[in-house]
Amino acid sequence: MTSISLSNHPQRRTHSVRLFLLMLFFAAQLGIGQTNPFRLIYPVDNGRHWVDDIQVLGMTNPQSQVWINGAPVPVDSAGRIDHNITLQAHKNTLTIQVSNRTTRWDTSLTLWRMNFDHFNADSQFVNKNVADSLWLQVLSPRSGEMRRDRISFKGRTHPDATVLLNGDTLQVFPSGGFTGLLELNPGENVFAFIAALDSEILRDTLRIVTPRPEDPEELPLFIEDSALPASHRWVTAGDILQVGFDGRPGQAAYFQIPGSMDWERLIEEAPGQYRGFWRVTPETPQQALKIRYLVKTHRIFSHYAYSNGNIRLLATPLGAITTSGDSRVYHQLGEGLFMPLGEGIALTINGLEDNYFRVWLSDELHGYIHRRNVKLLPQPLTQLPVQVGSLRGTNQGDWQQFRFFVGPVHPAYTLEEVFEPRRLELKLYGAEQGWEWTTFPEPDGDLAYLERKQPASHTWQMNFYARSEQFWGWRGYYDGDYFVVEIRKPPVIKSDSLFKHISIEIDPGHGGYERGAIGVTGYPEADANLRYSLKLAKLLEEVGATVYLTRTTDTRLSLAERAEIARKDSVHIFVMAHNNAPGSGSNPLGVKGTSTYFTWPSAKQICDATYPHLLEMGLEPYGKITRYYYYLLRQTDYLVFLIEGGFMTHPDDEMFLLSEEGLDKLAQAVFNGLQDYLIQQATHQEALETHGIW
């Protein structure tokens, strides 16, 4: 047989290449070798659910057709499918079929609808999900590498089983859950779990590797990417900038700002961590530059390195305009929500760090906003303060409205409640008093007094004082050339019909693929939250309250969507229904109990009324806590407070939340708190009426 080399025959080589490309084309058209044409986001195979209606969420080609359990479902223009199914039995099958011009794909999943557990008359936990045979599942953590010295673990087994961890007996709770804290040493850590029941034995092993400390002599003089600043920085004269790098311990290390200063010694704050500070001066070169680092060794030569990020001096501030309806200014870099601003707000920028622009508000106050939310301008629009015009107050339905002229430039602002004396405090940053003329609404209702101030240059302030003990809601926004403040009028509350004029939004936290805290047995917080929210809604509806829920199924919503739902429903009270969990490095057996959270002073009264009823449930007290930076707790259109029923991560609390009786008690406790709060409000209103004030 004669062998022919294609490389020696150009025509055959060309034909072969064309044939190969043609095969690739048809393979692509037929879907051969491609990944699945559908990405399922939620639920997961063999998922366990404690609610009936769950979300099916996935992504595919927008041109595809999708069937779920045999029924066609819509695909939006982005290729997203979002569909709800109802679990009809303990064991359920979910089938998904996807078809397009060339490809047909299908899969099936098993979904488990768990039985509700109970407490009997003797307060003993009755587990309604016990299998006939032994099982053992370590839910977390997973084997792998970790850079930490401890981590909590949790798992489940038969409630009557004996579980050993490296030979030591673990407590198995009536739910079948077991938990604790693993101490990790450098190197490989092996944790052997054994579950035994009668003659059955099951084993599971975790292998967690933590890096061993490196020999200091083997470390490089400069550890790569450790030289500060790690990213580009914009600075102004007077800023104090931390400098330094990580490297081999025991070195003589120095830094220098090229063209601005001589070499200065760095301090070794910890072995191998060299740090110092540089105060920016007006003489700093304005071109982008890098900090230069020097290490002197015992040899003749010195070694140099440069910062990862450039430094740029801003001789004068820049201007900026917010470009998003959700433009958040933070107290720190990405932390501590300070100003929830809308689109078109004028800002002054005098720095950049880690993709956050520094916002100048006054000589004593600044914030940070992500660079994606602003458009830079050559100079600030509020370089000359905006002149604030006259204010006119009117009554608009359930709200009192106050409008004053600002003009086309909209300065940044805060509108916050202050406890003593009780008032709303509006501040415009980049404004000053102009024409002063204040018209009160008629009748002025709960408004006691209006007060204008100029506490600092470029900062204008207006205080709104109330006659009652609290505010029922407020908001501030720009409307063309005017700034508008709206304050909600107190609803009419009568002792004989407490809930008649009250609307309440219940927000079951998490949902869908966002499962929240996961209990010791795998019980998701999202399901626990929804279960007791539905119970609470029923209790409130029975006494005449207008009740809304942000979700009634196992569906994910963003925080902004939840806030907007409540805003559109125009509710008086927003109940955040959650449960708790500590950090993964804490001992889960050491943290348990029930708690309430609030931000604004007016919401504290609801927490004061509710917390005693939570303690009557039999759970440990965890506290009445104020949190300033939770996004939903900072909403102001309504009174908002947070319930953390118990700790999902403690087996005792989890069993309480697994049971119907426990969730009944939790819903009743929140209901009783709301009822007591409204009784207090009715008594206060009736006292004002008696004195002719209301």
Query: In terms of Cα–Cα distance, which of 508, 492, 486, 468 is closest to 605?
Result: 468
Average pLDDT over residues 138-155: 96
Amino acid identity of residue 94, one-letter, is: L
Pairing mode of beta strands 264-265, 267-270: unpaired
| Cβ count near 661 (within 10 Å) | 16
Which of these ranges, 26-40, 54-68, 155-169, 643-657, has the smallest mean pLDDT?
Answer: 26-40
Strands (E), 24-161: 38-42, 47-49, 53-60, 65-68, 71-73, 80-86, 91-99, 104-113, 118-119, 125-126, 136-140, 144-145, 150-157
| CATH code given to domain 386-488 | 2.60.40.3500
- Superfamily in which the 216-313 domain is placed by CATH: Immunoglobulins (2.60.40.10)
| Cβ count near 219 (within 10 Å) | 15
Residue 272 has pLDDT above 50, yes or no: yes
Q: Determine if the peptide bond prior to 174 is cis (ω within 30°).
A: no
Amino acid identity of residue 614, one-letter, is: L
The count of residues in the chain is: 694
For the chain, the domains span: 1-27, 38-113, 127-210, 216-313, 318-377, 386-488, 503-682
Average pLDDT over residues 404-421: 95
- CATH code 3.50.20.10 for 318-377: no
In degrees and rounded to multiples of 5, residue 673 shows phi and psi of -65, -45
Residue 30 has pLDDT above 60, yes or no: no
Indicate the DSSP class of residue 426: E
Residue 28 has pLDDT above 70, yes or no: no
Radius of gyration (Cα) for the chain, nearest Å?
32
Given CA atoms 509, 514, 518, 521 in this order, what sign does their dihedral have? positive
CATH architecture of 503-682: 3-Layer(aba) Sandwich (3.40)
Q: Sheet containing 447-456: which strands, arranged edge to edge?
A: 412-418, 423-429, 459-466, 447-456
Average pLDDT over residues 555-573: 97
Give the per-residue pLDDT at 20.
44
| CATH code given to domain 38-113 | 2.60.40.10
Q: Give the mean pLDDT of the chain.
A: 91
| 15-29, 77-91, 214-228: which is most confident | 77-91
* Cα separation, 388 vs 376, whole angstroms: 25
The reply to whether 216-313 and 386-488 are identical in fold is: yes
CA angle 377, 383, 388 (to 5 degrees): 115
The string of pLDDT tens digits covering residues 490-525 is: 999 999 999 999 999 999 999 999 999 999 999 999
Residue 693 pLDDT class (50, 70, 90 cuts)? low
CATH architecture of 127-210: Sandwich (2.60)
Average pLDDT over residues 655-682: 97
> What is the residue whose two structure tokens read 């002054």?
348
Residue 3 has pLDDT above 70, yes or no: no
